[in-house]
Chains A and B, each alone.
Chain A
């Protein structure tokens, strides 16, 4: 049978470039002077400046990872780590400068804010240009603001949590992040408060040969709940851009957090992001992750189940096309009794793209009666692509239920024949099967603002076929 043609995501909506029209762009490279200059530009308090300088030392000491995709094309001397856009932080879209506002308009952010979100943050290059949240949440004591404001206005909260969940020496790119971080969101949900409508932060990198290093810090107190959505995109340039964000999530006892990500960076992006959640007693941490863009992605969100009865779920899909190497996965540490994890990962490789599922499930001696189940499926759409599955399962006590299943293969000829016998053409049948494959994940993705993606992984078949 003919080869499947599953179209690339139409990237027109993401690929428009705005003039590199910054207010301040730090010179390229990574030195102590540069880190100090960023700190000065950002009016850091002393403690933050110290974290940055310490992190730079750690960065210089640490090696590049000895595994995974080849990162040799990354040269920090070519990357500007701080680009301040020509805009202050605004709470009304009307005050955001026209070309920046136009960017977010085209991405559908203000529209989504009106329709389905409780709050929105928007970052352009290194700084957040817009932040707003519904009044009623403010009254309940919910804080949703950019990280810089949080450092200034809630120094105790930030100081006691910043780089505590993800230690600075975790790996080289965490150290890099801590040295040059800028922007990102801070969320605080007080005890018992349920935020029913999602908050969303969107990160846009416009400036060429630069990096984005936003920091997201979310604290969901005991019994509270939140759904947070993170979106990211960038136009394509010829030289590499770097994204080394860091997400730290604190999920209190009986709290619930759902963290959804749609990553659609351009295909010159190295996405070396770190995300970790510390989960309290009977808490629930859900990750939903769609990874479509980037040239290289190394992304392994992690749940650390420290509280008895804590649960975590990971639902993720990677879709690698030509020239992409998406090395994604999940990590979970079961560190208390009765904890539970459910992992459901899928990947699609085509046009020579490479998907790797890499993971760790560790059930420690402290976690009797814990359960973990992993399901991992990879679809190969042609014979020039690559799909690898590299899971580590580390079980250190006996009273557990652990199971791992993985499958790799192509679209079944029998399934195609079955659909064709109902009058559906071969191409449509294949597209249908691919959508069906991705459905368990795509139905979890917030699609309000990702219209183009919706065309690819369409939840419903009507109209999309033919």
Chain B
């Protein structure tokens, strides 16, 4: 299967236009996924899960002034511009709707994989109306000691209207025999602000497509992402941002480390569309190579059709600094511990962005066990 096509192609010989997964098959069995927990915190603690489209409409009418609605939606709402989610056949639909003016809303979605729940194809839509303030954490985590194959193909769509302020954390800690496919698609209007934190640790193959449209003036999207690969994990990250609005701002920060024979492909595209005057785009990608068999491929693209913009990207790969290692070892740390500390230091600022403490701890433990 060929996935994650870049918006602009380059020479075929560079092997960076897409990812071809060999011996990859979408599991035939799709028995549904029951291990789902939704927690909501908001001024009015109301949560609605509808069984059908009509049901959801009825409930929407009923609770018109509710601050938060969680409703089921249908596949037809999930047309993606890019992404690996076209392949998915959802067995979970969730819509989070923050009504105009809702603030202090915190939502936590947990999907737990175990023997009974191995195939998750979720479609999540987050709709933040004007002047809302929303914090969403979504985690995909296997049950302890569950080491079997699981399949995840998720789609998370976000629409942020004027002045919405949205904070989303997505955590993938699937086991290394699984496949993780996930597509993000965002649409930001004037002054909307979106902070995305993506923790991408799990899966034999972890394929991410992140696509964001900055339509609004002063719209602002920060993506902080970390990946950590060991064994023969493959990460393919395709991040695309289109700046349309004046003074729109995109900041992509991807930090990662690769052990053993892990492979990472990072493809980042910032596309300054005509008219996005005074837009600023930054893209920074750094890969720490912890083994001579690990491989890091990066394609950090800047596309520009507007004069009055500022675009920067930087990308680097290499070993951990020998000076830092030496310094730490001179304080009695073993090389392994010193290395762990350096990787952790690299991830720390991004981990700080996780608002839920239990999730932060989960991620922190995962770093330890992977290293």
Complex-state Cα separation, A67 to B274, whole angstroms: 22
Closest to B289 in A: A398
Residue numbers in B under 8 Å from A410 (CB-CB): 307-309
The stretch that binds A, out of B7-15, B50-58, B135-143, B151-159, is B7-15
Chain A interface residue count: which class? 35 or more
- B64 CB within 8 Å of chain A: no
Smallest CB separation, B31 vs chain A (Å): 40
Q: Tell me if A390 and B296 are in contact (CB < 8 A).
A: no
Q: Tell me if B304 and A395 are in contact (CB < 8 A).
A: no
Contact with A along B306-318 (1 / 0, CB 8 A): 1111111111111
Q: Tell me if A395 and B295 are in contact (CB < 8 A).
A: yes
- A45 CB within 8 Å of chain B: no
Q: Tell me if B307 and A390 are in contact (CB < 8 A).
A: no
Smallest CB separation, A101 vs chain B (Å): 41
- Given known A-B contacts A360-B11, A388-B8, A393 and B306 have beta carbons under 8 A apart: no
Contact with A along B279-292 (1 / 0, CB 8 A): 00000000101111
- Number of A-B residue pairs, CB cutoff 8 Å, is 141
Of residues 352 through 406 on chain A, the ones whose CB sits less than 8 Å from some CB of chain B are: 358, 360, 365, 368, 378, 380-383, 385-406
Q: Tell me if B315 and A404 are in contact (CB < 8 A).
A: yes
Smallest CB separation, A301 vs chain B (Å): 14
Closest to B280 in A: A409
Q: Tell me if A382 and B296 are in contact (CB < 8 A).
A: no
Complex-state Cα separation, A360 to B274, whole angstroms: 28
Smallest CB separation, A382 vs chain B (Å): 5
Q: Tell me if A390 and B301 are in contact (CB < 8 A).
A: yes
Chain B interface residue count: which class? 35 or more
Residue numbers in B under 8 Å from A385 (CB-CB): 305, 307
Closest to A397 in B: B292
Q: Tell me if B312 and A67 are in contact (CB < 8 A).
A: no
Q: Tell me if B10 and A390 are in contact (CB < 8 A).
A: yes
- A465 CB within 8 Å of chain B: no
- B46 CB within 8 Å of chain A: no
Contact with B along A393-428 (1 / 0, CB 8 A): 111111111111111111000000000000000000
- A192 CB within 8 Å of chain B: no
- Given known A-B contacts A67-B17, A403-B315, A391 and B299 have beta carbons under 8 A apart: yes
Contact with B along A59-73 (1 / 0, CB 8 A): 000000111100000
Q: Tell me if B294 and A398 are in contact (CB < 8 A).
A: yes
Of residues 411 through 461 on chain A, the ones whose CB sits less than 8 Å from some CB of chain B are: none
Among candidates B9, B291, B299, B313, residue contacting A398 with C-beta atoms closer than 8 Å: B291
Residue numbers in A under 8 Å from B306 (CB-CB): 380, 383
Complex-state Cα separation, A261 to B302, whole angstroms: 26
Residue numbers in B under 8 Å from A392 (CB-CB): 10-11, 14, 16, 297-299
Residue numbers in B under 8 Å from A378 (CB-CB): 302, 304
- B303 CB within 8 Å of chain A: yes
Smallest CB separation, B74 vs chain A (Å): 36
Residue numbers in B under 8 Å from A382 (CB-CB): 307
Of residues 308 through 362 on chain B, the ones whose CB sits less than 8 Å from some CB of chain A are: 308-319
Among candidates B12, B314, B317, B319, residue contacting A66 with C-beta atoms closer than 8 Å: B12
Q: Tell me if B16 and A400 are in contact (CB < 8 A).
A: no
Residue numbers in B under 8 Å from A394 (CB-CB): 14-16, 295-297
Contact with A along B1-37 (1 / 0, CB 8 A): 0000000111111111100000000000000000000
Residue numbers in B under 8 Å from A399 (CB-CB): 292, 318-319
Q: Tell me if A403 and B304 are in contact (CB < 8 A).
A: no
Of residues 305 through 329 on chain A, the ones whose CB sits less than 8 Å from some CB of chain B are: none
Among candidates B287, B289, B304, residue contacting A388 with C-beta atoms closer than 8 Å: B304
Among candidates A67, A381, A405, A407, residue contacting B10 with C-beta atoms closer than 8 Å: A67
- B147 CB within 8 Å of chain A: no
Complex-state Cα separation, A67 to B300, whole angstroms: 17
Known: A360-B13, A405-B314. 19 other contacts (CB 8 A): A68-B10, A358-B10, A385-B305, A389-B301, A389-B302, A389-B303, A390-B299, A391-B315, A395-B297, A395-B318, A396-B295, A398-B292, A403-B314, A404-B300, A404-B314, A405-B313, A407-B312, A408-B309, A408-B311
A-B contact pairs, 14 of them (CB 8 A): A66-B12, A68-B10, A365-B292, A378-B304, A380-B304, A381-B307, A383-B277, A387-B304, A388-B8, A394-B16, A395-B318, A398-B292, A404-B300, A407-B312
